[in-house]
Amino acid sequence: MSPMAKTGIDVVGDMVAWGAHFCFFYETREDLVDTLISYCKSGLGSGEYCLWIVAEPLSVAEAKDALKDAVPDLGRHLAESRLEILSARDWFLPGGSFDGKRLTRSWYEKLASVSARGYAGMRVTGDTTWLTRKDWSHFCDYEDGLNEVIGNQRLAVLCTYPLAGCGAPQILDVVRTHQFVLARRHGNWEVVETAALKRAKAELKHLNDELEKRVDERTRQLRQTSEALHEAQAELAHVNRVTAMGQLAASISHEVMQPITAGINNTEAALHWLDAENLAEVREALGHAVREGNRAIDVIGRIRALIKKAPPRKDALDINEAIREVVGLTRGEAVKNNISVQTQLAEGLPRIQGDKVQLQQVILNLIINAVEAMSSVPEDSRKLLISARKDVGGVVVVVQDSGPGLSPESLDRLFDAFYTTKASGMGMGLSICRSIVEAHGGQIWASRDVGPGATFQLTLPLAGAP
Ligand code: ADP
């Protein structure tokens, strides 16, 4: 339970929690009045509802009188029923006799009406000088039951007992039925924690420890799950990349073969010029051969990078260069499918921050999808446009085809995992593209009415953007 505001009783200070049922043994009327004035004043100051049940020899009028000096706007509090001062006979003994059950009901009703009025809490104090030996054991049962009423409510009850009126057996009863005991004797305060309170505190500590242990355990499990999920995602993305590269294997090998063939041709030419002792031509042919050899190495390097499984990187990279490399790798595939590929890459684009291989994977997926989509339209109308330009806060990449386009229904589902309309499709490509782009702080979406077929656009924030 949350701690209540200041009790107004210095000896316990701010240590009391809502739900407290405690008692105060007093020796003198002065001790009683001083303590209760401070208790009520603190409650009113904290916006609580206060109920003071006064017993003889103190009268309701005397209690009001005593409060007047400490609480200047007492009249207003009383008029608004924010503070009620009742006589113990009226509250505890309506009809002249004590009835614990009836009294408990009255508490529940009071609590309901006070909660309905929206107070921060309810602070009660009641004196017991009216209590006779005849009613003592019933009253103890009632006090015991009161702990249940108070339970988890924003309610605090301070019962006051005149020390002179209590023998040892009574004191034991009071200690048993309350959470803790305050006593003022010979001008000194004493605070006694009862066994019940100690037990409750120990229980609470045990529960807290237990809870903390379970929170730790759960956090550890969640961390493990999230790590496993992360790994699975990376695995899946890698499989998708390798699959995409596999789809292009035939065309890519052509891309590698081309420079190698050109290199061999140049070397043969060099041999020929050597026989003719034309060293200038030999030098030129060998220079070509070296360049072609390097080209082949570059292509193989790009292929290896796309196939390799590597941890994600955060580099400042040139998106145009990344696009050009992918377009280069897919050139053979485009030629094979009679697709005319056009690129419009704006000059001098600022660098974006991210993982080149992952972003190339996105563009590769979009290109392969476009190639596959255009297989259903006549060869002379197959066009693929890939563009990159600067936009507010980043770079926009657009992949636009002239295929059959997207249906309104598919538009909502394209990026869902396992959504596919292809007989041998996996339906993971676009879902992985979205994960990659979002992990880069960007967005990816499809439109059906921008170009002749489908248009996919992605935004990527600039390097150094928050
Ligand atoms: P898969 O290619 O395995 O089907 P994707 O997630 O890459 O998985 O694509 C999901 C679906 O989105 C495709 O099956 C297709 O219906 C649709 N789609 C993707 N790209 C295009 C495109 N360029 N034109 C038309 N439909 C497309």
Ordered per-residue pLDDT tens for the chain, 466 residues = 566 768 888 888 766 788 889 999 999 999 999 999 999 999 999 899 999 999 998 999 999 999 998 998 999 999 999 999 999 999 999 888 899 999 989 998 998 999 898 898 999 999 999 988 889 999 989 988 888 888 778 899 999 999 988 888 888 889 888 988 999 988 888 888 777 667 767 777 888 899 999 999 999 999 999 999 989 989 999 999 999 999 889 888 888 999 999 999 999 999 999 999 999 999 999 999 999 999 999 999 999 999 999 888 889 999 999 999 999 999 999 999 999 999 999 999 999 999 999 999 999 999 999 999 999 999 999 999 999 999 988 999 999 999 999 999 999 999 999 999 999 899 999 999 999 999 999 999 999 989 899 999 999 998 776 6
Q: What is the CATH number of domain 10-224?
A: 3.40.50.300
10-224 shares its CATH topology with 249-461: no
Measured in Å, residue 421 CA sits from the centre of ligand 1 at 7
Block residue for tokens 């790009």: 302
420 vs 433: CA distance, rounded Å? 14
Which tokens belong to 80? 């608004």
CA-nearest residue for atom 17, ligand 1, is 414
Single out the residue of 372, 366, 411 nearest to residue 385, CA to CA: 366
pTM of the predicted protein model: 0.62
Q: How far apart are CA 341 and CA 334, in angstroms?
A: 7
Cβ-based neighbour number of residue 192 at 10 Å: 13
Q: Hey, what CATH class is 249-461 in? A: alpha beta
Domain boundaries, given as residue ranges, for the chain: 10-224, 249-461
The number of the ligand 1 atom at minimal distance from the alpha carbon of 453 is 24
State the Cα–Cα distance between residues 198 and 368, nearest whole angstrom.
Answer: 72
The number of CA neighbours under 13 Å toward the Cβ of 68 is 8
Q: Which residues does a 6 A CB cutoff place in the pocket of ligand 1?
A: 365, 369-370, 373, 401, 403, 406, 410, 414, 419-422, 425-431, 454
What is the predicted pLDDT for the residue at 199?
74
